[in-house]
Amino acid sequence: MSPALLWFIGGFILILAEFVTPGFILVFLGLGAWVASLAVRLGWADTLGAQTAVFAGSSLVLLLMLRRWFKSWFLGFSQQAVTAGALEEYVGKSVRVITTVAPGLQGKVEFKGAQWNAEASEELLPGATGVITDVDGLCLRIRPQT
């Protein structure tokens, strides 16, 4: 088998592997292998060292330049929409404090029948009512209800 064909097959396998692994990185290694295949086919990289350099360089350039664009293209910009909708759903809503929440002390609150981690800039004792001011992942930032 020719080196160009081996690089092409390797790239194809890497691109297929992207479908079963998270992270959206293997596709760029696969594309880098295809660039190396093209370089071998055109006679630009005759030695294994030159082929490896073309593979590594093109994979890195493609990863750094295109990952963000490709990722948002494949996800359909869904992550930004979910975050914006989530903030509207939570901010300003009341929560019931289950365990003490204080500056530097993460506690638990109840919101919509589920327990959430919470942070606050002022101390809130169990049984108190707080208001959600922000959402940070799975942690709610709250303030005392006035």
CATH, residue 139: 2.40.50.140
Whether residues 9 and 65 fall in one domain: yes
34 assigned to some structural domain = yes
Residue pair 70/109 in contact by the 8 Å Cβ criterion: no
Residue pair 119/106 in contact by the 8 Å Cβ criterion: yes
pLDDT for res 76: 52
123 assigned to some structural domain = yes
Whether residues 63 and 99 fall in one domain: no
Q: Write down which residue in 54, 76, 98 finishes a domain.
A: 76
42 assigned to some structural domain = yes
109 assigned to some structural domain = yes
81 assigned to some structural domain = no
85 assigned to some structural domain = no
Whether residues 17 and 44 fall in one domain: yes
Q: Write down which residue in 76, 99, 120 finishes a domain.
A: 76
Residue closest to 112 by CA, chosen among 141, 132, 126, 127: 132
Write the CB contacts of 4 (distance below 8 Å, at least 6 apart in sequence): 37, 38, 40, 41
Whether residues 41 and 97 fall in one domain: no
Query: Using alpha carbons only, what angle is made at residue 68 by residues 62 and 73, rounded to the nearest 5 degrees?
Result: 105
Q: Is this model's pTM higher than 0.75 or not?
A: no
Which residue type does 46 have?
Answer: D
Q: For residue range 74-129, what is the model confidence (pLDDT) as tens digits?
A: 555 444 444 555 567 788 899 999 999 999 889 999 998 889 999 998 999 999 99
84 assigned to some structural domain = no
Domain that holds residue 99: 90-144
Cα 51 to Cα 5, 54, 91, 124: the distances in Å are 13, 5, 54, 62
